[in-house]
Structure 1
Amino acid sequence: MLDTIIKGGLVVDGSGQPGRVADVGLEGDRIAAVGDLKDATAGETVDATGLVVAPGFIDLHTHSDFSLLVNGAAESQVHQGVTFEVVGNCGHSCAPVVDAEAVKHAIFGHRDCVPIDWHGFGQYLDRLEAQALGVNVAALVGHGTIRLNVLGGAQRAASPDEVTAMERLLDGALEEGAIGFTTGLEYSPGNSARVEEILALCQVAGKHDVMYATHVRNRDYFYEQGFGEALAMARRAGVKLQISHITPKFGAPPHATEHTMEMIRWTRETGADVGFDMIPHEWGPTTMTAVLPPWAFEGGVTKLLDRLRDPETRERLKQNPLPIWKLVPAGHWDKLVLFQSQENADLTGLTFAEIGRRRGVHPYDAILDLLLEEGEGLYNVTWVGELVSTSDLLMTMHEPDCGLISDTITLAPYGELGDVKWAPSSYGWTARVLGRYVRDEGVFTLEEAVHRITALPASRLGLSDRGALREGAFADVTVFDAGTITDLSDLKAPNIYPSGIRHVLVNGRFAMRDGERTPVNAGRVVRRH
């Protein structure tokens, strides 16, 4: 007898092939059968008539490394059908840790309520495994974190001995279960690394046959350099490359997206393994400290706050020729919105044009003032910018192998995370894909869209038993109403659950049932070995 039968739904199995009406039988944590199960018996039967039955959604690019330790339920993801997350992106991971004080400021979403009481990557995964997790989790090891452990906050090229030390840390993390390697080359400290350093580390990743995910060094003025460096790693190191949130952003020339896709095709012709993904949104998030030049971070957070206080140094900070977003030097303050600030929560949701007017200061000074007022928590101040054009976003998403991601952290509308906002996509990215881009605009077929957030990311991770509805695969299942699924969030009110998600099963157990969250948290930590 089966444990559960999901009966009569439109089964869209993740392969990209046309959906078909069928039953899905579950036994334990696995899918036991897909087809006509009218003669089978089960402990319970769920009627999915008129609904879509899909593999649980996989988010290949998140920063939930720490938020899952604060609240493992992953409410914001489970409520939109996500059953698997990959954390540690953009070079920022929670491990390894030599100096907890130095590393904590590089951890997205760090909060003092959870002590950093681990050192090795395996210990971090053990700590994560001790949580009741709403989703399955795999973790990348971040270059920025590794670099901080070896060089501290030094903003300079690494010596040969220091590169060797970083190689050892990377090798150890991969041996201990990290599912891949990641860089954030627009962020400190990654932006101080030379190409030779990145190549040496990619060769370690290539030896382990794991994915290398990169937030490239530049996606605007010098986009050719940023993407070219990443593609060279795939060629020279033989590593499986994943270019994160690939669409060129404001400041790039009009032809940049088309040219980038050409560069990828040329590189693939050499035999290199290249994948890429994109947030399904014109607005993207980051930490607000990324507006600062690399030298601002020398000496740690205390020195940084001193620089923000000093009038002469502040003027130098504003002369940064290459902030992460070129909306800043262009003065497009109406396209920059404060998203998260503990000390100035009343200003969240406002543009920096509005904040500047409200405070009677130039918007750039408002940015620096808000960072200073946040004190030691300034690394948790986030903002969003209107970074990519709709036409470039659509051009990217029309590529058949473009993955779709959230670039967010797991949140919950209660407890320690109740007041946290992170990204426009935090609560609604899957519904935006399936509602707006499938049902309303026809950018994808239903089957294509499901493939992009299930089997495609699973294949990039080398996971053959996730992201598919087939016999023997893990029983991660999302059941939704294709006619009503809708992203209800916006920039002013981003933390709103979507409509249309009916049931979510993680490893065969109901995390959501009849549109309501259950108390079950059946997620697991997925290690490389």
Structure 2
Amino acid sequence: MYDTIIKNGKIIDGTGNPWYSSDIRIRNGKIAKIAPHLKGDREIDATKMVICPGFIDMHSHTDFILPFFNTMDSFIRQGITTCVVGMCGSSLAPIHPEKVEEFKRDASTFIPLFKDIDITWHTFTEYVEEMGNMKIPGNLVLVVGYENIRIAGGAGHENRLPTSKELNRMKELVKEAMEAGAFGMSTGLIYAPQVYVSTEEIIELAKVVAAYDGLYFSHIRDEGKRLVEAVKEFIRIVEESKCRGGQIAHLKASGKPFWGASIEVLQIIEEANDRGINVTCDSYPYNRGCSSLVTALPPWAREGGHEKIMERLQNPEDRERIKREITQGVESERWENWIGVNGFDRLYVALVNTEKWRDTIGKNISEITILKGKSDEWETFFELLIDEELGVSITLETMDEEDIRQIMTSRYQMVGTDGMGMPKTSVLPVSHPRFCGTFPRILGRYVREEKVLALEDAIRKMTSFPAQRLGLQDRGLLKEHMWADVVIFDPETVIDTATYEEPDRFPEGIHYVMINGETVVENGKQMKRYPGKVLR
């Protein structure tokens, strides 16, 4: 195996320390030597560039793309070398053999390609083996989703507590996933059927995770009105389950009435850590989130799964109840009322499946109502969901820049895209600029231009901090004997170029990316190389 030498750059090693000058020898996939004046078979001249560890994405949904597109372009091009998948309670396993068609139908609502997929695995063990055999450019950290556990062994789409038999079955499924190599379990507590789960049920399942020294990841129950309550619930789950730690997904204060709540929430996280409860978070640098339009419905309207939801949307009495509860708010329902809090003009259509609504992409519901000549936004809302059979992705303009900065500068924050590593393709368009631009946006806008973070600290949040959180002892630092996941970028030009109007534009300034010692981006061009691994 030949040596690659990286020369003449500024090494920022991921510790948070200032840069220093040296050469790096890479051999057999690892960093073999860091010293001046090294010689090798191949040399990379990093003059005026920064050399740092590969970026670790703490929150992604790339697992749902890999069965169809394995190149991870939008991630690799921004320097992501490892991504955590199985987030928001949704993973690709376990899938009960009798629920395969149901899984394919639900997944195809937003990724139509799932209609024709041949699912050859059912258990998490079989899934890990499947992924291990796949050629991928980047590394994967697998997490098991609670929704999969619930549908495979619990109450499914019903709004009820599990029976003791179901709870034991779910515990066995979590155990099987952890023994197969899952790093933990995730939940997405705004999504049906996860919205129906009790805190106590999560704690019982998380105790199994704790027995394997795993982590609890969560898209918490509310990011708006009940944000503080939701964070406290999360901390309780971590504390009572005795998990090694907890990771709050894409922490934010969503909805103008709740802007500024990040200060209190970060204080609560600080206090939890002071008490010995290891709680951290991730976030992305955008003022819009991205989700499914169907999640704007009250929880009762989403009970029972796809067919039941479609029936209610076409029932005049149910539609009136939905309108009334969203408009007036229902305190007894623990849900995040996006429309009631933010209005239709903050919800933008990002992806649809039919030609009828294709011209609405990029417009908010109020604008679409005028464009389509509808009587009001409610008619647009219901017709969109019915015509698209629930398959409408939206971006939600609900966050304030000051909260974004508060969270970004917290000592407990890491970086997560909440996106997917995707190629540019008309078959499955990108729905949010975070898919392509998260890490370069922080380095360009928030480090270089606005000086919100020091470069060394930003890189630590992208590399050694998430590696430490995940327990990856041989990644996240530029250090001898570590795996050679490396990014070389120009600190004067690195920037995101993706926008809400053109979310699939790749960033600038990322010149080289190496994963497990192989160069996957060279002079800004992605190579057809697949050195990625499923990490254990």
Instruction: Give yes or no for contact 1:93–1:142 (8 Å, CA) kept in 2.
Output: yes
Q: Which residue of 2 aligns with 1:8?
A: 8
* Distance change in 2, residues 1:288/1:468 (3 Å): same
Report the secondary structure of 1:393's partner residue. helix
Is 2:287 the counterpart of 1:282?
yes
Provide, for residues 75-130 of structure 1, a one-character-per-residue CA deviation record: whole Å limited to 9, x for no partner.
01011111111111111111001011233355474622422221011211222223
Is 2:301 the counterpart of 1:296?
yes
Instruction: Give yes or no for contact 1:103–1:148 (8 Å, CA) kept in 2.
Output: no
Tell me the distance in 1 between the aligned counterparts of 2:59 and 2:272. 23
Instruction: Give yes or no for contact 1:102–1:152 (8 Å, CA) kept in 2.
Output: no
For residue 200 of structure 1, the aligned residue among 195, 198, 204 is: 204
For residue 372 of structure 1, the aligned residue among 364, 383, 386 is: 386
Cα offset for 1:331?
A: 5.3
Cα offset for 1:263?
A: 1.2
Match runs of 1:6-405 below 5 Å? 6-36=6-36, 38=37, 40-98=38-96, 99-105=99-105, 107=107, 109=111, 111=113, 112-150=115-153, 151-239=155-243, 240-250=245-255, 253-318=258-323, 319-320=325-326, 321=329, 326-330=337-341, 332-343=343-354, 344-361=357-374, 362-375=376-389, 378-379=390-391, 381-405=392-416
Instruction: Give yes or no for contact 2:156–2:193 (8 Å, CA) kept in 1.
Output: no
Which amino acid letter does the alignment assign opposite residue 241 of structure 2? A
Report the secondary structure of 1:432's partner residue. helix
The root-mean-square deviation of aligned C-alpha atoms, in Å, is 1.8
Count of aligned residue pairs for this structure pair: 520
Report the secondary structure of 2:102's partner residue. helix
Instruction: Give yes or no for contact 2:256–2:398 (8 Å, CA) kept in 1.
Output: no
- With normalisation by structure 2, the TM-score equals 0.93
Which amino acid letter does the alignment assign opposite residue 241 of structure 1? G
Tell me the distance in 1 between the aligned counterparts of 2:526 and 2:270. 43
Cα offset for 1:269?
A: 2.1
Report the secondary structure of 2:519's partner residue. strand
Is 2:449 the counterpart of 1:440?
yes
Instruction: Give yes or no for contact 1:146–1:170 (8 Å, CA) kept in 2.
Output: yes
Instruction: Give yes or no for contact 1:290–1:324 (8 Å, CA) kept in 2.
Output: no
Instruction: Give yes or no for contact 1:4–1:42 (8 Å, CA) kept in 2.
Output: yes
Tell me the distance in 2 between the aligned counterparts of 1:256 and 1:280. 17
Instruction: Give yes or no for contact 2:185–2:215 (8 Å, CA) kept in 1.
Output: yes
Tell me the distance in 1 between the aligned counterparts of 2:238 and 2:112. 32
Tell me the distance in 1 between the aligned counterparts of 2:403 and 2:286. 11
Which amino acid letter does the alignment assign opposite residue 48 of structure 2? G
Report the secondary structure of 1:69's partner residue. coil
Cα offset for 1:31?
A: 0.8
Cα offset for 1:327?
A: 4.1
Cα offset for 1:476?
A: 0.8
Cα offset for 1:360?
A: 2.2
Tell me the distance in 2 between the aligned counterparts of 1:132 and 1:333. 42
* Distance change in 2, residues 1:128/1:110 (3 Å): farther
Instruction: Give yes or no for contact 1:58–1:453 (8 Å, CA) kept in 2.
Output: yes
- With normalisation by structure 1, the TM-score equals 0.94
Listed as ranges, the gaps of 5+ residues in structure 2 are none
Instruction: Give yes or no for contact 1:245–1:277 (8 Å, CA) kept in 2.
Output: yes
Which amino acid letter does the alignment assign opposite residue 84 of structure 1? T
Provide, for residues 395-444 of structure 1, a one-character-per-residue CA deviation record: whole Å limited to 9, x for no partner.
11121231111101121113743xx2232301111111100000000011
Deviates more, 1:383-392 or 1:147-156: 147-156
* Distance change in 2, residues 1:106/1:236 (3 Å): farther
Which amino acid letter does the alignment assign opposite residue 465 of structure 2? L
Listed as ranges, the gaps of 5+ residues in structure 1 are none
Tell me the distance in 1 between the aligned counterparts of 2:334 and 2:291. 12
Report the secondary structure of 1:426's partner residue. helix
Cα offset for 1:323?
A: 8.9
Q: Which residue of 1 aligns with 2:512?
A: 503
Tell me the distance in 2 between the aligned counterparts of 1:388 and 1:504. 32
Report the secondary structure of 2:41's partner residue. strand
* Distance change in 2, residues 1:87/1:224 (3 Å): same
